[in-house]
């Protein structure tokens, strides 16, 4: 089983739609969580951190469910510019270093 | 703005050649990383460094080595390139002792080994 799993998609949605991605992680000791966005042929960039209390940034909402070991990303009112691959990232933290990137979920927003 | 630069965007090498990939960051970050990204596999950590001259193996260090002589520069070396090292190579840096801080990525080097 992969340490971080995402549905690769692609998700094809019309402009204005609401779309949600989930990501599951296997290690219950994981400490911090992030969503990164990667445009085609570009480098990943931080989209948002994910906190236990959930957090919202404009049209984007991220949530963490520690009991079930998954994080989610909700995008409301999708724009064409949201088309990208969304990477789930899990950090172990602590004394060692362990950051695991998911393989990504591809989103296409159509006019 | 954090800036992470990589020496080449595209590189084509032959099997057996020694390959150097350079990465420079301008934000005085402590930590630097080298990943490779392959379709369906996501980013996999090759090596990271948390200080000058310090390095630690990541998940897939075989066939690679690294060098960090200056804080701002982290080099990845393929001692004898092989076709299975054809990939996108991404360098990243982060600031902080917790090693859980946001990572800032360079634009990537797409390496093809023939």
C-alpha to C-alpha distance for B94 and B108, rounded to whole angstroms: 16
Q: Do A4 and B42 touch (CB under 8 A)?
A: yes
Chain A residues near residue B90 by CB distance under 8 angstroms: 43-44
Each residue's pLDDT tens digit, B90-105: 999 988 665 457 889 9
Each residue's pLDDT tens digit, B19-69: 999 999 998 998 999 999 998 888 999 999 988 989 999 989 999 999 999
Residue B109 clears pLDDT 70, i.e. is over it = yes
Partner residue facing B107 (CB), from A4, A43, A103: A43
C-alpha to C-alpha distance for B112 and A7, rounded to whole angstroms: 28
As given in the structure block, the two tokens for residue B27 are: 């934000």
- Whole-number percent of chain B with pLDDT over 70: 94
Collapse the DSSP code of B42 into the 3-class scheme (helix H, G, I; strand E, B; otherwise coil) and give the result. strand
The alpha-helical segments, DSSP class H, found in A24-93 are: none
- Residue entry with tokens 């090292």: B85
* 3-class SS string, B7-38: CCCEEEECCCCCEEEEEEECCCCCEEEEEEEE
Half-sphere exposure of A87 (CA within 13 A, CB side): 25
Chain A residues near residue B45 by CB distance under 8 angstroms: 99
C-alpha to C-alpha distance for B88 and A62, rounded to whole angstroms: 28
Q: Binning pLDDT at 50, 70 and 90, where does residue A97 land?
A: low
Question: What integer pLDDT is reported at residue A108 of this predicted model?
Answer: 97
As given in the structure block, the two tokens for residue B73 are: 């520069």
As given in the structure block, the two tokens for residue A12 are: 């094809």
Question: What integer pLDDT is reported at residue A51 of this predicted model?
Answer: 80
Question: What integer pLDDT is reported at residue A70 of this predicted model?
Answer: 93
Q: How many CB atoms lie within 10 A of CB A57?
A: 10
Question: What integer pLDDT is reported at residue A73 of this predicted model?
Answer: 97
> Mean pLDDT throughout A31-35?
89
Question: What integer pLDDT is reported at residue A3 of this predicted model?
Answer: 87
């Amino acid at each position: 089983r992969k340490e971080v799993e995402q549905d690769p998609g692609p998700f094809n949605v019309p402009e204005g739609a609401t779309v949600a991605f989930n990501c599951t992680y296997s290690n219950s000791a994981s400490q911090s969580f992030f969503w990164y966005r990667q445009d085609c042929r570009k480098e990943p960039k931080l989209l948002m951190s994910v906190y236990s209390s959930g957090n919202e940034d404009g049209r984007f909402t991220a949530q963490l469910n520690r009991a079930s070991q998954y994080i989610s990303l909700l995008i409301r009112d999708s724009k064409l510019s949201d088309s990208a691959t969304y990477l789930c990232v899990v950090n172990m933290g602590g004394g060692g270093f362990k950051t695991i990137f998911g393989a990504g979920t591809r989103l296409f927003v159509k006019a | 703005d954090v800036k992470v630069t990589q020496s080449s965007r595209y590189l084509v090498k032959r099997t057996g050649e020694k390959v150097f990939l350079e990465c420079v960051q301008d934000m005085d970050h402590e930590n630097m990383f080298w990943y490779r990204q392959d379709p369906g596999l996501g980013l996999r950590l090759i090596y990271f460094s948390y200080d000058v001259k310090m390095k630690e193996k990541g998940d897939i260090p075989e066939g690679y080595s690294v060098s960090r002589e200056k804080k701002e520069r982290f080099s990845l070396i393929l001692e004898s390139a092989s076709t299975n090292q054809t990939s996108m190579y991404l360098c990243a840096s982060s600031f902080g002792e917790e090693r859980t801080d946001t990572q800032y990525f360079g634009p990537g080097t797409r390496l093809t080994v023939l």
